[in-house]
Amino acid sequence: MAQAELPVIIAGSGPVGSVLALYLAQREIPVLLLEREPALPIDLRASTFHPPSLEMIAELGMGLIEDMLDKGLKADRYQYRDRRSGEVANFDMGLIAGDTSYPFRLQLEQYEFTRLANQRLQQLPSAQVRFNAELESFEQDDNSVHATIKTPSGSEQVTGAFLIGTEGARSATRKHAGIGFSGFTYDEQFLVVSTSFPFEEVFDDLSWVNYVSDPEEWCVILRTEKIWRVLFPTFPESSEDEARYLSDEFIQARLHHLYDKAGDYDIGHRTLYKVNQRVAETYYQGRVVLAGDACHINNPLGGMGMNGGLHDGFNLARKLVRILREGESHQPLFEHYNRQRRDLAVKFVQEHTIANKKLMEAREQDVQQQRQKMLMETAADPERARAFLLERAMINCVRDSEAVI
């Protein structure tokens, strides 16, 4: 009883920390959500919500899914395009309408989602959200976790029943726990730029999500609710190279290579970032648990990073309710979480994201032609296309993860 009165401390108010906090606070479990920044960050990151994530978010009620569907763009198909031949493999998500209530990818900026989720959190008396509160370190004993946080007025200690690290790839919780994060960093960096130019008017039958292969320069073109985004690979070797890749001149040249319109493109955001494939060696240590980017990161092709993190968040939230409301012991449930989310789901995400990148970047023309042919044959055969979509929409991965005992 005394344990349930201590809050669950959640470090990091990204999409994963936000859904976890919302799920627990809705069940009157006290949560203390700590966010390092003075306000919710607004940056161009994830923009695709897959069907299982939408189903889980719908469970939260409070009009959240309705607001998301209202704001977002429904991509009910997506395409693999061969830039040289002009061939298009068109995957119709209507083929999985019998498998999910949301047979589409919802294109919505991640920061819009955290904003909507946090608006709901403000309405719940069991939730306390603190900005300018950075988790630095922690100590734990048999019944609680004592976290040290940095605030503008100095260091402070807060005590909780559990600490959940959802602070993203550089997680202070993971580092302080000494949990390894092995994997690799790709040689290339990804350049993401946004523009309001209406690509849908110049490319024939363009869908809202397009993976474009090319032996010289593959790219991803996708539309969010507001803008088109284009992602290109780059190979900087120095900070001068990075500055060049971020220059107007380089970005204009890349966009004109994509479509040679008259005059300059208007360019909104531009980001150059390193891409990693890494998994934490364990997802928990005693009463301290990791979720989201804090314990797995991957390339963004296929949009599985944030989605996998949301699936962690819901899985862990359900287990915390069993621990804090039904008196179950935490250790076996955290071990189960580790088996379900680390050993199985992450293997899936790592394999698929690496494969998604390989699908586009082949330099040998014959390899690329064969891949395009395989994708077009798959898309044209409803049974094979459905199987492909169940994998890529993360439906199989969630089903398999739920089946792990």
Ligand X SMILES: Cc1cc2nc3c(=O)[nH]c(=O)nc-3n(C[C@H](O)[C@H](O)[C@H](O)COP(=O)(O)OP(=O)(O)OC[C@H]3O[C@@H](n4cnc5c(N)ncnc54)[C@H](O)[C@@H]3O)c2cc1C
By beta-carbon proximity to ligand X, the closer residue of 46 and 179 is 46
- Residue 355's H or E segment, with its range, is helix 346-361
16 near ligand X (CB under 6 A)? yes
Asked if 13 interacts with ligand X (CB under 6 A), we say yes
Binders in 305-364 for ligand X, by CB under 6 A = 305-307, 309
Q: How many residues bind ligand X (CB under 6 A)?
A: 37
Residues in the chain: 405
Among 110, 299, 104, which Cα is nearest to 220's?
A: 299
Q: Confirm or reject binding of residue 36 to ligand X (CB under 6 A).
A: yes
Position 34 contacts ligand X (CB under 6 A): yes
Residue entry with tokens 């005693």: 286
Which positions ≥6 away from 141 have C-beta within 8 Å? none
Report how far residue 391's alpha carbon sits from residue 385's, in angstroms, rounded to the nearest whole number: 10
Q: Which of 290, 398, 280, 298 is nearest to 351 (CA)?
A: 298
CB atoms within 10 A of CB 332: 11
Answer for which of 4, 41, 90, 339 binds ligand X (CB under 6 A) is 41
Tell whether residue 15 is a contact of ligand X (CB under 6 A).
yes
End-to-end CA distance of the chain: 28
**40, 59, 207, 223 from 227: Cα distances, Å:** 21, 29, 14, 6
Among 67, 82, 167, 214, binds ligand X (CB under 6 A): 167
- State yes or no: residue 155 binds ligand X (CB under 6 A): no
- Nearer to ligand X by Cβ, of 236 and 368: the residue is 236
The residue type at 130: R
With CB under 6 A as the contact rule, the residue among 236, 292, 359, 394 that binds ligand X is: 292
Among 37, 66, 381, 402, binds ligand X (CB under 6 A): 37
209-213 and 219-223 strand pairing: antiparallel
| Crossing angle of helices 15-26 and 305-326, rounded to 10° | 30
Q: Is 207 in the site for ligand X (CB under 6 A)?
A: no
Does 52 interact with ligand X (rule: CB under 6 A)? no
Q: How many whole angstroms separate alpha carbon 111 and alpha carbon 119?
A: 12
Does the protein bind ligand X through residue 6 (CB under 6 A)?
no
Could you say whether residue 145 binds ligand X (CB under 6 A)? no
Residue 17 contacts ligand X per CB under 6 A: yes
Residue from 46, 219, 227, 346 binding ligand X (CB under 6 A):
46
Report the nearest approach of ligand X to the CB of residue 263 (Å).
Answer: 27
* Footprint on this chain of ligand X (rule: CB under 6 A): 11-17, 34-37, 41, 44-48, 110, 134-135, 166-168, 172, 192, 271, 273, 292-294, 300, 303-307, 309
